Chain A
Amino acid sequence: MKKIMQTRRQVLQTLAFTGIAGAAVGKFPGMAYAADGGTLKIQFERELDSLDPGYFVGGSPPNDVNWAIMPALVLYSRDGGWTPSPHVESVVARDSTHIDFTLRKGMMWSNGFGEVTTEDVAYTYDREAVSEWKGDFVAYDHVEIKDKYSGTIVLNQPFAPFMNTTLASGTGIIICKKAVEAAGGKFTIEQPATCGPYMVTEYRQGQVLKLRPNPDWNGAKPAYANIDCLFVTEPSAAALAFEAGELDIAKISSEAYARYLKESPANSALTVAGALQYMWMGMNTDHPKLKDIRVRQAIQHAVDAASVVQGAYAGTAEQSYGVVCPGLVGRREKTGYSYDPSKAKALLDEAGVSGLKLTLRTLNNQERMLSAQIIQANLAAIGITVEIIPLDSGPFWNMGQESKGDTWKELELWIMRYGSGPDPYEPFQWFVKDQVGVWNWERWSSDEFEDLFAKGVAETDSEKRKEIYFRMQEIMEETGAYVFLTHEPEVFIHKSSLSPHFAPSGEMIVGAFNKV
């Protein structure tokens, strides 16, 4: 680094335009040691659509922004569980249907909207329960207000995961009742009132969102005072920007990960976030072309998941055999079906199907597109022609949802990835009967599955849990609608002086970033 600085100074000295040089010195990338107390430069890989927790698209951003500027009851901890946020004095899960919380006193909303109180919590979650994200609040009943700063969240059914999946996630942030009501009940890219260690001082669409210390914040100060969030949508541009010193942390592709594992730039470190993710190819069991289970089974036998790991992920992802992630109770070591193209052809013949044409929808990033091409080739080998339909994240996450259009009817094949938490029951919650048309896009249900799900949540013996979860994944596999692919990681490269903190699904929790 020092060497490069000298080169640039030499370049500057030869410039006769001292005026420009003087103004520009502090701004040359690499010269500003952002990670050493200057401004931390992080990457946002998507445009910001909306910060409203009831109506946003979710993911990174807006979750990263909201966690920095808004209150929450709990945040994700570094081990994947949850921990009380800097906004509360205490949060206790009293029993399976009651969560007691006490807010800290004297936290002020911006724009003169007064203190953060229990009323805000009640207002927020009541509003969430009827918003577009109400799926996360199915178990929520109401907030009992005890006094100005404390209350209890009451659930209408036992739901131990509530903390992790709802309160700690982006849909758990708390908004200001007075401010939102004054703004008409809805808002988009600007929070009507904020209260957190940071505040947004500048937002230039497509360029940068600046986070600076909130002068009214009376809690612990985060390690990095100034954060510039640069919108860089191209992953290769982000990696190049990191190498050039213009970003302190960047999300990288699997190929880049493989390369950096062999040789990484000086003073950099790699962090794998979102390790608890499971990726599969789903099939719409209601679609006429896929109604016959033999067709689905044929497809299961035709796809070579191992080659997806090698080809699309440069060998850096673990192959998945179910939805439970490595390291958790109930993780399978193999699938019931195996890569067997001749058996696949036989099944197709048995079903009397030939010349089948299917569409395969996927997110348009590099790894997914490569996976799609591998699957396309695999299926071509058994006589199925696949058309790949790449989608941006906006349209992609709406695909199978009945509330968001008609695509759920046209869905045939798609590559999907969900994130899960540290408890093995978590992935299964998206495939229950209630979730058909919400997150169960394969549109199937099974009474045994529902039964086992309830048992699994309540069961404490790990051997018994393992059996339950094994059986549940078997049931999923038997529907023929799932081809398990990988546990796709989110990998970040960053300055070694930065210790980042991520949510299980890969969003950044900047308030918890530490200096090493």
Chain B
Amino acid sequence: MWSYLSKRILLSVMIVFLAILALFITLHSIPGDPVSIALGPRATPEIQAEYAARMHLDKPLYHQFAIFIGNVARGDLGKDLFSNRSVLLILSEQLPFTIILAITAIGWSALIGIPLGCLSAVKPNSIVDRITGILSVGTIAIPSFLVSIWAILIFSVGLKWLPVIGAGEPGDIGDQIYHLILPAFAVGLGWVGYLARMVRASMLEVMSENYIRSAHAFGLKRRTIIFRYALKVAILPTITLIGVGFGALLSGTVFAEIIFSRPGIGKIIYNMVLARNFPVIQGAVLITIGMYVVVTLISDLLVSLLDPRVRDTL
């Protein structure tokens, strides 16, 4: 178990390293002065000079990269061009909101999607199955930003049930949940159908396995079979899916944050892109890479906890 864990963590670290390397190389292969490229057109000469000194631009590339990695490891992601606050600080203020939104979206869609998929698998070709099937694909197809727009129109402006902007007062959980409803709905909607289909296909496969038939033959009740054996196995690909899909979920949260004026990584990247505040953008890219790797790591570990067979395929 521990050797798997350490192998997996090592792998993640290497992936992050490679991604940072790719970022570094990209930045330095763009034609032009590396300082202006890294800091953007709005950096003052003083900031540029300070950056050049800090990054040791006179040294060879690999040395620069080592310094770059060293900075990242120490948590020094640079400073916002205008407010001079640490990029890490700015991003860590915004990060929790994105994570909460993502988790809530996945949470509610799993709560609905997984049982739906189960049900469809258990009664294949029934009305439930067919309707779920069509609805699933339907919800997958609608882009989340469209869902956000229509949701605002119907629920905020039309019915005035839910708020349009913001994340709510901090410390006031009720208010925060209230502001979370629409965005999480919009982001998670597509996932409901997707998880449902995933679980359904998975379950169908599992239920056609021999050992399930034997369990039937042994006289075990259907419900027991489903919940104690089939579901556990069928869940595994779903967990991996969530891990892998997290990166894609992030796209959905970016749009939701912009449309709903919610704080979060997506919103801040977008604003910084418009304002050409490069250090923050670079820091945000690094943080999202890190997030993604961490999430896949967690989901892989979870799967391995539940399924010993996977550990061996590494």
Contacts and interface: CB of A to CB of B under 8 A. Distances in A.
Contacts of B166: 207-208, 230, 246
Nearest to A404: B42
Given A24-B172, A47-B275, A243-B157, A395 B178 contact: no
A189 B89 CA distance: 14
Contacts of A237: 164-165, 259-261
Contacts of B258: 234
A231 B275 CA distance: 15
Interface string B162-195: 0111111110111101100000000000000000
A407 B90 CA distance: 29
A246 B152 CA distance: 13
B160 interface: yes
B83 interface: yes
A188 B84 CA distance: 7
Interface range, A side = 35 or more
Given A234-B259, A246-B163, A188 B82 contact: yes
A241 B165 contact: yes
Given A188-B84, A189-B83, A395-B276, A29 B93 contact: no
Contact of A205 (B41, B93, B169): B93
B125 interface: no
Contacts of B274: 364, 392, 394
Interface stretch (B51-59, B202-210, B263-271): B263-271
A50 interface: yes
Nearest to B258: A234
Given A237-B259, A405-B41, A230 B276 contact: no
A241 B178 contact: no
Nearest to B82: A49
Nearest to B174: A24
A43 B242 CA distance: 37
A262 interface: no
B64 interface: no
Contacts of A8: 161
Contact of B41 (A29, A48, A233, A395): A395
Residue among B152, B163, B173, B261 with the highest chain A CB neighbour number at 10 A: B261
Contacts of A395: 41-42, 275-276
A386 interface: no
A232 B157 contact: no
A27 interface: yes
A24 B178 contact: yes
B260 A24 contact: no
Nearest to A52: B82
Interface in A1-59: 4, 7-8, 11, 20-21, 23-24, 27-30, 47-50, 57
B85 interface: yes
A106 interface: no
Given A206-B267, A206-B271, A244-B164, A21 B174 contact: yes
* Residues of B contacting A: mostly: loop
B168 A27 contact: yes
A403 to B, nearest CB: 10
A245 interface: yes
B18 to A, nearest CB: 31
A247 B82 CA distance: 28
A94 interface: no
A206 B156 CA distance: 21
A28 B178 contact: yes
Interface string B71-112: 000000000001111000010011000000000000000000
Given A47-B275, A49-B83, A244 B263 contact: no
Contacts of B42: 394-395, 398, 404
A72 to B, nearest CB: 23
Given A24-B178, A240-B152, A50 B82 contact: yes
Contacts of A23: 172-175
Given A23-B175, A392-B275, A244 B261 contact: no
A253 to B, nearest CB: 16
B256 to A, nearest CB: 12
Contacts of B172: 23-24, 27
Most buried by B among A8, A188, A207, A404: A207
A204 B93 contact: yes
Interface in A201-220: 204-208
Interface string B251-292: 000000011110100011001001111000000000000000
Most A CB atoms within 10 A — which of B90, B160, B271? B160
A232 to B, nearest CB: 5
Given A27-B175, A240-B152, A245-B160, A232 B165 contact: yes
Interface string B141-167: 000000000001000110011011111
Contacts of B85: 188-189
A244 B260 CA distance: 13
A206 B259 contact: no
Contact of A30 (B160, B168, B174, B268): B160
B72 to A, nearest CB: 22
A463 to B, nearest CB: 47
Contacts of A188: 82-85
B276 to A, nearest CB: 5
Contacts of A11: 161
A506 to B, nearest CB: 19
Given A47-B271, A189-B83, A20 B173 contact: yes
Interface string A177-218: 000000000001100000000000000111110000000000
Contacts of A4: 160
Nearest to A1: B160
Contacts of B94: 205-206
A364 B157 CA distance: 26
Interface in A419-437: none
Contacts of B41: 395, 398, 405, 407
Given A27-B172, A205-B93, A230 B165 contact: yes
A327 to B, nearest CB: 35
Contact of A244 (B84, B93, B156, B170): B156
A407 B276 CA distance: 14
Among B84, B166, B263, find the residue whose CB has the most chain A CB atoms closer than 10 A. B166
B157 A244 contact: yes
Nearest to B271: A47
Nearest to B89: A205
A245 B259 CA distance: 17
- Most B Cβ at <10 Å: residue of A20, A206, A240: A206
16 contacts: A24-B172, A29-B163, A50-B83, A188-B85, A205-B93, A205-B268, A206-B267, A207-B167, A234-B258, A240-B165, A243-B157, A244-B164, A246-B163, A246-B165, A394-B277, A407-B41
Given A231-B261, A395-B42, A407-B41, 18 more contacts: A27-B172, A30-B160, A47-B271, A50-B83, A188-B85, A206-B263, A207-B167, A207-B263, A237-B164, A240-B152, A240-B165, A241-B163, A241-B261, A246-B163, A392-B276, A394-B42, A394-B276, A404-B42
Closest 6 CB pairs of A and B: A24-B174, A392-B274, A49-B82, A23-B174, A27-B175, A20-B174
